[in-house]
Amino acid sequence: MISGSLTKKNGYWYMILRVRDESGKSKPKWLATHLRADGNKRKAEEMLWVARRDYTNLWEMQKRNFGILFSHYLITWVKNFHGKVSVGTYTEYQKCIQNRIAPYFEERRIELAKLKSSDILDYYHFLYGKGLTRNTVLHYHVLLRKALEEAKLRGLIMENPTDRIPRPKKEPSVSDCYSPEECRNLLNAIQGDPLELPIAFAVLYGLRRSEILGLRWGAFNFEQRCFTISHTVTVVSIRGRRQIIAADRVKRKSSFRTLPLMPYIAKLLREHAAQRYDSQSPPHEDYICVNENGKLIMPDTLSEQFQRIIKENHLRRIRFHDLRHSCANLLISARVPLIEVQQWLGHSTISTTADLYSHLEYAHKERNADTILQMML
């Protein structure tokens, strides 16, 4: 492993690594930890060990291949993300790199140091030719940019080839959703169904699937008539095996929110508790959305069973996630201000809400036009 040390500069810890250039000559490389010198020595030492390991891996790769292949660098780069991001994010990054991006550049044997902007553009045209959407290409662009920016910071390349490439434009999002009448029909159809509770949460609160499955009894305050969204459940594929990831974290900071407990939902919860626990109080850590055996409902099972319900009841086919959009439609139809819709749904910014649901506000504009016309007559 390459050598390295810590030093203090301007009140912060810095790492100094002895790295080798293309000729094999050793030279110092300074890396910022962004940690204040007071009280952070152990964290700085941990960062130094990780940096030494990462640079050693890349140097060994360079020696083996007489120049790092871009595909090999990408695979090493994504492996170093393990433990630094959520399991779901890491799994998604790994899948994209190993299955979608690296094989293209591996086949062409393009070296990292010789990678050009035109190589990246050729890859994007290849993806478009395969029928991939602009949103997918944008997702890959973001990954490539991150990987190459780190290669630049590590001194492996002089400039980031993606800097010269215009960011792919995101396709406008047009979500499908139920009308208020269709929402009422759905709520009537699910009465007494084992999935009544999770579907009701999706329609009335617009919760994400991971947020619904992450609801536990401890999140509900029946006296204050409210509940808090702070826990999620997802399923990811790791080495070909599907694993449940339960975490006391939500998609982003704005997704952590407290919402009022509607009487209809409170009634369903009490009935559910009485059936499952008799007269005892439900344990705070127990999940609410479980099957008849008390096992947590799987995300795919929820989506599949939702399709069964709408088919049996001759309802228009939409995705389970579209119930979230349907909730937004209910709020916007009631002329709830967009800022309140954002807070209810847990979007990070109001622009996200506006981008997703601006088309739903057109009916309001028509009503406003009628109002103005009546005032002028």
Phi and psi (nearest 5°) for 244?
-80, 130
pLDDT in tens, 236-286: 766 667 777 777 765 566 678 999 999 999 999 999 999 998 888 899 999
Rounded Cα distance, 350 and 338, in Å: 7
Band (pLDDT 50/70/90 cuts) for residue 157 is confident
List of residues 6+ apart from 343 with CB closer than 8 A: 254, 257
Give the mean pLDDT of the chain: 86
pTM of the predicted protein model: 0.63
Strand segments, DSSP code E, in the chain are: 4-9, 12-20, 26-36, 220-221, 226-229, 232-238, 241-247, 257-260
Per-residue confidence band for 65, with pLDDT thresholds at 50, 70 and 90: very low
pLDDT > 90 in the chain, percent = 54
Residue boundaries of the structural domains of the chain: 4-164, 180-321
- Tell me the percentage of the chain whose pLDDT exceeds 70: 85
CA-to-CA separations, 153 to 32, 65, 160, 210, 377, in angstroms, rounded: 11, 21, 10, 36, 66
CA distance 18 to 5: 9
> pLDDT tens across 300-359, in order?
999 999 999 999 999 999 999 999 999 988 888 888 888 998 899 988 787 777 777 765
The hierarchical CATH code for the domain 4-164 is: 1.10.150.130
For residue 187, the model assigns a pLDDT of 95
**Domain 180-321 in the same topology as domain 4-164:** no
Q: Are 341 and 331 in contact (CB under 8 A)?
A: yes
Pairwise CA distance, residues 64 & 42, whole Å: 33
180-321: CATH number: 1.10.443.10
Longest dimension (CA), the chain: 85
Mean pLDDT (whole number) for 2-29: 83
d(C-alpha 318, C-alpha 128), whole Å: 27
